[in-house]
Amino acid sequence: MLDGYEWRREQDRTTTAYFVSRLINVWIKNPISAKDLLEPLNHPETKRNDRKKDEEYLRKKFKKVLRNK
């Protein structure tokens, strides 16, 4: 039962990341894949409360987009 829940949750995250990447790619020059968006979520050994590392990773990944604002 728990395995099914985790599988559905992973499928929901993957689907959401796919559509978010499609929406983001309309506005930027360098495409971002769903895999790039899922990278912080796919490491179970990292703590969810490590917000600063997540923010740093995302800032590096989207550096060009943030510079244009």
Q: Say how many C-beta atoms besides its own lie within 10 A of residue 46's C-beta.
A: 12
pLDDT given for residue 48 in this prediction: 59
- 21 Cβ neighbours under 8 A, 6+ residues apart: 31, 32, 33, 34, 36, 37
Q: Which amino acid is at 1?
A: M
Q: Give the DSSP letter of residue 11.
A: H
- What pLDDT, on a 0 to 100 scale, did the predictor assign at position 14? 92
Q: What is the pLDDT of residues 6-57, one digit of tens each?
A: 889 989 999 999 999 999 999 888 888 888 888 877 776 655 567 788 888 8
Q: Is the pLDDT of residue 69 over 60?
A: no
pLDDT at 37: 86
Q: Structural domain boundaries of the chain?
A: 2-67
Task: Please check whether residue 36 is in contact with residue 61, taking contact to mean a CB–CB distance below 8 angstroms.
Answer: yes
d(CA 68, CA 63): 9
